[in-house]
Structure 1
Amino acid sequence: MSCLFCQLIREDSTQWVARGPSACAFTPLDPLAPGHTLVVPTAHYADVFDTPIEVLAETVELVQLLARAMRSGLNATGVNVLNASGPGSEQSVRHLHFHVVPRWPDDGISTWPTGQSQHRFAGDPAVQLADALTVGEHPRS
């Protein structure tokens, strides 16, 4: 398997912010803002659909810890947490990852979509989602 993030983890060839047994955080090559960090599970999972709930929870816990550190250590007034999962999402690396981007007023960047999807859906998407959740498309209890 040729996964860039697995290679970085295996070769210890990045600037680490945090390393744990199930999740780690490192700086990207081209950060959007000072302190922009990627949080990934240490084992390879392609996306949010593929990741066991326990690993996802531990990864998101590190996202939260990192966001708090951005607020206290960088004086960020907010963060954007960004994830793309699956082929229709513009996912650039097929290893689950979250971008945690510290934000400040008037920092000059926008990470929020500026347009709306052109995809059309027959029926009510909220009803379809609710129905899918009731037939087993939800986390294990």
Structure 2
Amino acid sequence: MGWVNDCTFCKIVAGRLPSYRVLEDEHTVAFLDIAPASRGHTLVVPREHAPDVWAISEATHAHVAGMVHRVSALVKAALAPDGVNIVHSTGEAAWQEVFHFHTHVVPRWHGDDLRLMWSSQPAPDQELEQTLELVAAAK
């Protein structure tokens, strides 16, 4: 499987950097985030290097999604959180810091100090219709 020499997550997958592995299979590795947003915050990465959601294959993305599901269940059984955030970011504008596709599984408890990533207001119908037209034209 392909990996990039200077990629931190490729090094973790290859065992060249230490990690706290939660689960792994032939396609993915799940390990605790060393700077967790909450207790049990786990990253799920594909073994194969892909920098972001635009570069990952649909099949590999499906493997990551399956592991996210398993990790979420494991975290629920182990830590009994009140909820969970599943987060992915692609690109610097979306706060991606490590350019190896990864998904965050972040356990949440009532009263924790994590905040919403954004606040928004409903968009006007005209804007939604125009956006839908653009997306439909790109199919």
Q: Within the alignment, does 1:125 sit opposite 2:136 as a pair?
A: no
Residue 3 (str. 1) matches residue 3 (str. 2): no
Q: Which residue of 2 aligns with 1:63?
A: 68
- Work out whether residues 80 and 111 of structure 1, in 8 Å CA contact, stay in contact via their aligned partners in 2: no
Q: Secondary structure of the equivalent of 1:40?
A: strand
State the secondary structure of the residue aligned to 2:106: strand
**TM-score, with length taken from structure 1:** 0.82
**2:79 equivalent in structure 1:** 74
Matched letter for residue 57 of structure 1? A
1:131 Cα offset (Å): 2.2
CA distance in 1, matches of 2:116, 2:41: 12
Shift of 1:115: 5.7
**1:82–1:98 CA contact under 8 A, matched in 2:** yes
Q: What per-residue deviation string (whole Å, max 9, x for no partner) do you get for residues 25-55 of structure 1?
A: 0011110100000000011011111111111
Deviation readout 1:58-83 (Å, 9 max, x if unpaired): 10110011111222221112110111
1:34 aligns to what? 39
Q: CA deviation at 1:111?
A: 4.2
Residue type of the alignment partner of 1:79: V
Q: 1:132 offset after TM fit, Å?
A: 1.5
Q: Structure 1 residue 126: deviation in Å? A: 2.1
Residue matched to 2:53: 48
TM-score by length of structure 2 reads: 0.83
Q: 1:93 aligns with which of 87, 94, 98?
A: 98
Number of matched pairs: 128
Amino acid at match of 1:127: E
Q: Which stretch shows the higher mean deviation, 21-30 or 6-15?
A: 6-15
Distance 2:135 2:96 in 1: 22
Name the amino acid aligned to 1:9: V
